Chains A and B, each alone.
Chain A
């Protein structure tokens, strides 16, 4: 099994630390060799900072990858955005010698270099390929009787160039991981559509972002699920805080709990709602909490 370094990024440690905690609890329970990637920065954010300047984006991504290479470990992300930036940057550097030289001309000023000799992993891809749903099912002590809307998010699967994942149109690996906890992954319309946050849309054009979020939430609501499960803290934030914003701005009454996969898995492994930080969301749905506590 791969030795890993845990890349936290920005939104997880600085806005949803429950996801950081639940990731560490789950990896420890699974016996995965994973250490903190100390001194890492913003990935940097693929949609917005990649939009501003590719050289800066590559240099900072290159430093984060170089830190993990120095530990002789593959880099593990728990965010689609971080995965998008770091996996894409790693791929581009591996494919293009000149680009690698350009990145290293910046990195040499801080005494580092990127070699491109390690992989960038995403927690769902790692859990599915290296652990497997069956092994997860074997160690679940609290099978969850929940109806779940799985939200893959865009950058987990796309751009597909250089990625090891399955079809971006009809992927199943995330659904299989969710069902390994005992939960049911419920089909819903426009499942593969965007949460609305990416590309700097949430930061500069919040109303446009919410229009996409509102549509996605309405489709999820029609499927009568207990919660949404995602693999990205930025989607998590948009789907969670977005519900409160939509309720205030448009008079809707959304109240759907939002969980990162590691929080769902944490529940199935017997950890508490508070220990996993599920109660720290903007949306706190007491019916859901009662249901989870009674299981």
Chain B
């Protein structure tokens, strides 16, 4: 199934609690959006587009949201706007619509259990501060990293991050 041919994106977003059909387009979300002041993100328009156009999944502005939650906190109808953004992004990723840099973040997590793993420069900084070169995270506990990898396999995150 291609989502771009799916007539009703809303049905795919059911269960997110976001209920974007309740939107009365007052614009409080756009007016509250720090990203929208500086980028092309218009959160109100994005939600409107999501009502009937699965093309929203490849809309560049979908990824300009910093997930600050101002819109969601201030929405007079209590719509889970950021929750809806998360769901749309997840649907996009399942369609293979993902920035290479984001795929890289996913790959780092799969390999190291950290989205930002340690490097030589920072191991030296740690030692200069009197800390162990490797922190007491999965970096120091290989069996912990194995657990994390098992969980990601159980959720099929490895398949999600592979090239489509």
Contacts and interface: CB of A to CB of B under 8 A. Distances in A.
Contact of A38 (B141, B150, B151, B154): B141
A212 B122 contact: no
Contacts of A26: none
B63 A53 contact: no
Contact of A39 (B37, B102, B141, B151): B141
Interface in A191-208: 193-194, 196-201, 203-205, 208
Contacts of B104: 203
B35 A8 contact: no
B39 to A, nearest CB: 5
Interface in B79-122: 82, 85-86, 89-90, 93, 98-99, 101-102, 104-106, 109, 113-119, 122
B148 A18 contact: no
A249 to B, nearest CB: 14
B122 A194 contact: no
Contact of A109 (B98, B101, B109, B150): B150
Interface string A177-199: 00000000000001001101111
Interface string B131-149: 1000111111101110110
B136 to A, nearest CB: 4
B11 interface: no
Contacts of A40: 137-138, 144
B65 interface: yes
A199 B66 contact: yes
A106 B155 contact: yes
Contact of A154 (B67, B113, B138, B151): B67
Interface stretch (A54-62, A123-131, A135-143, A224-232): A54-62
Looking at chain A, what size class is its interface with the partner chain?
35 or more
B154 A109 contact: yes
Interface stretch (A42-50, A239-247, A284-292): A42-50
B105 A49 contact: yes
Looking at chain B, what size class is its interface with the partner chain?
35 or more
Given A41-B114, A41-B148, A54-B90, A21 B131 contact: yes
B160 A14 contact: no
B68 interface: yes
A51 B68 contact: no
A101 to B, nearest CB: 14
B67 A46 contact: yes
A211 B38 CA distance: 6
Contact of A59 (B68, B72, B85, B154): B154
B13 to A, nearest CB: 12
A293 interface: no
Contact of B66 (A52, A168, A201, A215): A201
A107 interface: yes
B73 A63 contact: no
Contacts of A197: 66
Contacts of B135: 8, 13-14, 17, 20
A39 B138 contact: yes
A36 interface: yes
B34 A193 contact: yes
A158 interface: yes
B93 A52 contact: yes
Contacts of B160: 52-53, 56
A29 interface: no
A15 B121 CA distance: 9
B58 interface: no
A204 B67 contact: no
A204 B151 contact: no
Contacts of A50: 67, 86
A65 B45 CA distance: 37
| The 9 A-B residue pairs with the shortest CB-CB distance in the complex, in nearest-first order | A39-B144, A13-B135, A158-B69, A211-B38, A199-B67, A39-B141, A198-B66, A204-B99, A154-B68
12 contacts: A10-B117, A20-B131, A20-B135, A41-B137, A41-B145, A52-B161, A112-B147, A159-B73, A196-B34, A203-B102, A203-B105, A211-B38
Given A60-B151, A168-B69, A196-B35, 8 more contacts: A15-B122, A21-B131, A41-B138, A42-B116, A48-B105, A59-B155, A158-B69, A212-B34
